[in-house]
Amino acid sequence: MMLASQFNEMRVYAAGMKMIGKVKDQVIDPHGYALTDLVVRLGKESARRIFGKRFALRGTSVRVPVSAVEKIGDGVILQYTVDQLEQHIQKI
């Protein structure tokens, strides 16, 4: 069992163990009472690589669907590489 508060500030890694950012919040479906997305604050380098230079100047937060999560331990490991992430996340 894991508490939602344990996700806060947890490091997020793309496939290949490339750290891309930290969990800042969670999105819960109010009808199904289930965790649907993690809100991740991307690091500057990761934001630039995923979205290009236009988002690298300021912090970028994205919604990562839980379906993209490969494993959770000391950090959240995604099943996609940094180069594949743009297709699977939503900028907020």
DSSP H helices in 1-92: 44-51
CA terminus-to-terminus distance, the chain: 28
Can you give the residue ranges of every domain in the chain? 4-91
- As assigned by CATH, the class of the 4-91 domain is mainly beta
Q: Whole-prediction pTM value?
A: 0.89
- pLDDT tens-digit series, residues 55-92: 555 668 999 999 999 999 999 999 999 999 989 998 88
Torsion on CA atoms 77, 90, 61, 75, rounded to nearest 10: -10
- pLDDT tens-digit series, residues 7-63: 899 999 999 999 999 999 999 999 999 999 999 999 988 888 888 766 555 668 999
